[in-house]
Every structure is written in C-alpha cells, then in structure tokens.
C-alpha cells in the first residue's frame, strides 16, 4: 500500500531547490502545451519577454502593471498572515480609487502636494473601511470572510458603474459614459520616466516588512493567525488587532486604486483594475506572504500580463494564453508545496494490518 505521510522538516535550501524545480517543470509543461496547439514555445516565450521588456515603452507598461499588483499583494499579505482570507482586493481597490477621485474632483484647484496627500489618505481610509465590513461581520456573526469579501467586490464595481453612467458622467464626454479627467494637480508626477508610484511601492514594501517582522503588531497578527484562543490566553485584544490589521490590508489595496486612478487612468472607471485584484491573491501566495518576495513575484507576473497582451498583436495568439501560463505555474508551485510537506511511502500489508 502507498500512503501519504508527513515529511521531516526540509531545510530552506531544499525548499527553494524544490520550488525552482517546480518553476522549470511549469515552463516545460507550458512549452508542451504550446506545441500541442501549434505554436513554437521558444518563439512564444521570446515574444513574451520582448513584449514586456523589449523597449522602453514596453518596460514602462510592465512596471505600471507591477505597481498596483505589488501594493495589492502587500495588502493581501497582511490579511493572510492573520488567516483572514481577504478576497476583496478588487472592491477595496475601487473604493480607494473612489475616495481619491472624490477629493480630486471636489478640489481641483488645491496645491498638488496637499491634494495628492488627501487623495492618498482618502484612498487608504475608503479601502480600509470597505475591508472592515467583512471583518466586523466575521467577529460579530462568524460569517465567512471569503464569501463576504468576494461579494463586496461586485457591489463596489457596480457603484463605480452607477457613478460613471449617472451622477458623475462627464457632460463634455460627447455622449460617451466617462468620468471627468483629473486636473494636473491630482496626477502623480513622473520620476525617471515612470510615475512616482514605483517609489511609493518600494517604500510600502519596506514598511510592511518592518510591520510584520519587527513590530509588536506584526507578532500579534502572526499569533492570531495561528490560534485565536492562544491570542486571547496571552491577553491580546483580538478585536483591536483584527480591526487594525484589516484596515491596513484594505487601506493598502485602496492606495493601489488611488495610484492607478491618478497616475495611469487620470480618471475613474469601472474598468480600472483589469482583474489585478484577483491576480494579487495568486502573487501573494506564490511569494509566501513575504514583502520582498511580493515585489519580485509581482514584477514577474506583470511580465506575463504585458507579454500576453503583446502576443495578441505580434503572433495573433489570444492574450488569454498568458493566463494559461499563470495557471500552469500555480499548479506546479502548489504541487511543490505538497511535496515539501509530504511524501509517498510504501507500507507493507503486515504493517497495514497492525495499524
């Protein structure tokens, strides 16, 4: 008989080697799939790299996709460390963008430093409060945060659609349903050819790392994630920790929405995220909730996203091929996590009877 048994704890080196092997196996499997559907895998992979890094413009677009994805993933990591399964990044992203847009459209003549600061604050608060709804429901009524956060995504998007087609519709849009473009004061400035969000993203990664690894709150988040009973026994304020952590998680997602609305779209729309909120769940898991790894994984996934878009124009391959590649990578990485923790072992019939 073959049984699945727990493996003795592997060293960090062994774990990393197994994950690298899984990534290489994912590339090999992706190549085989490309061959089956009639494409040259080397050409496809080459076009993905060229389409995301092959020119200054393409590299810029890749970074612009990596910025919100990274910040969303940082917010997700804070919640996941507490075992609060926040799947509401899309909703928190849109509410953060809404809060920032409310400030930008209400005070267009305000000096840029003050206006942008208020937009950041509004993005954080609106995103955090939207995340706080499922947190309070879980604490009070033991609801599933996964379901509630997921459903609130659709509420947030429909709210933006209502504004776009209704009260905030731009009269100067010549019949096109759009929200007015922000004033120049409300647009993040460029630094080294990229919008300043890349600097903010790196600073946030450092701050989140410091929060989770070097502060009392980070320790309390980890303890609460391991066991609520242990946290209560240690005298920790479970409700207070939950509220603060989820406000930070949702607030970071809201900041991602603010930067996307301000620096990239320069307006608000119901197509703002492009599904990056859901992608951030994947990148956070692959990064193992580590802020430095989140930065790297978000950049690599942005290469896949941008390169996938380029495939459509260069080789007439559907951009969804990049999503297939992402799915294959996830499948193999999940498999590697299984083999890190467990192994197959043959058990004799005699031993089976004794057990």
Q: What is the pLDDT of residues 227-249, one digit of tens each?
A: 999 999 999 999 999 999 999 99
Residue 77: how many CB atoms within 10 A of its CB? 27
**Residue matched to tokens 């620096």:** 263
The answer to whether residue 351 scores a pLDDT higher than 70 is no
> Could you give the maximum distance between any two Cα atoms of the chain, in Å?
83
Residues in the chain, total: 355
Confidence of residue 307 (pLDDT cuts 50, 70, 90): confident
Give whichever of 114-123, 138-147, 271-280 has the largest mean pLDDT: 114-123
Nearest residue to 12 (alpha-carbon basis) of 305, 290, 219, 284: 290
Q: What is the pLDDT of residues 255-301, one digit of tens each?
A: 999 999 999 999 999 999 988 999 999 899 888 899 999 999 999 98
Across 42-46, 129-133, 156-160, 163-167, least confident range: 42-46
Between CA 288 and CA 70 the distance in angstroms is: 13
Q: What does pLDDT average to over the chain?
A: 89
The answer to whether residue 348 scores a pLDDT higher than 70 is no
For residues 261 and 319, which has the higher predicted lDDT (pLDDT)? Answer: 261
For residues 24 and 135, which has the higher predicted lDDT (pLDDT)? Answer: 135
Cβ burial, residue 290 (10 Å; 0-12/13-18/19+): middle
For the chain, which residues make up each domain, given as ranges?
Answer: 66-291
Nearest residue to 67 (alpha-carbon basis) of 320, 350, 280, 353: 280
Bridge partners, 2 (sequence order): 346
Q: What is the pLDDT of residues 206-228, one digit of tens each?
A: 999 999 999 999 999 999 999 99
Between CA 208 and CA 225 the distance in angstroms is: 17
CB 133 within 8 A of CB 152: yes
Q: What is the mean pLDDT of residues 2-10?
A: 73
Between CA 19 and CA 6 the distance in angstroms is: 18
Q: What is the pLDDT of residue 136?
A: 95
Q: What is the mean pLDDT of residues 12-16?
A: 75
CB 177 within 8 A of CB 165: yes
Q: What is the mean pLDDT of residues 294-322?
A: 82
Q: What is the pLDDT of residue 4?
A: 79
């Amino acid at each position: 008989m073959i049984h699945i048994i727990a493996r003795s704890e592997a060293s960090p080196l062994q774990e990393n080697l197994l994950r690298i092997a899984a990534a290489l196996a994912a590339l090999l499997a992706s190549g085989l799939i490309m061959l089956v559907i009639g494409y040259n895998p080397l050409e496809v992979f080459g076009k993905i790299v060229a389409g995301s890094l092959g020119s200054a413009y393409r590299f810029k677009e890749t970074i612009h996709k990596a910025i919100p994805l990274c910040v969303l993933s940082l917010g997700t990591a804070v919640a996941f460390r507490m075992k609060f399964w926040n799947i509401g990044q899309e909703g928190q992203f849109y509410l953060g963008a809404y809060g920032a847009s409310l400030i930008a459209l209400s005070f267009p003549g305000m000096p840029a430093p003050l206006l942008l600061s208020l937009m950041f604050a509004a993005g954080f608060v609106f995103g955090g409060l939207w995340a706080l709804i499922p947190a309070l429901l879980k604490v009070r009524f033991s609801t599933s945060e996964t379901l509630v956060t997921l459903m609130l995504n659709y509420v947030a998007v429909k709210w933006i659609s209502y504004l776009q087609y209704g009260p905030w519709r731009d009269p100067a849009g010549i019949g096109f349903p759009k929200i007015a473009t922000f004033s120049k004061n409300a647009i993040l400035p460029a630094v080294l050819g990229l919008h300043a969000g890349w600097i903010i993203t790196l600073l946030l990664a450092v701050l989140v790392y410091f929060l989770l690894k070097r502060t009392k709150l980070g320790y309390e988040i980890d303890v609460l994630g391991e066991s609520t009973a242990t946290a209560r026994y240690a005298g920790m304020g479970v409700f207070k920790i939950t509220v603060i952590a989820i406000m930070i998680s949702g607030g970071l997602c809201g900041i991602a929405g603010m930067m996307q609305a301000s620096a990239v779209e320069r307006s608000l729309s119901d197509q703002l995220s492009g599904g990056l909120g859901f992608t951030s769940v994947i990148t956070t898991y692959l990064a193992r909730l580590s802020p430095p790894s989140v930065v790297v994984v978000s950049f690599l996934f942005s290469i896949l996203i941008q390169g996938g878009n380029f495939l459509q124009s260069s080789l007439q391959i559907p951009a969804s091929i990049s999503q297939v590649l992402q799915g294959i990578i996830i499948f193999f990485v999940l498999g590697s996590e299984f083999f890190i923790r467990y192994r197959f072992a043959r058990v004799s019939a005699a031993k089976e009877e004794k057990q």
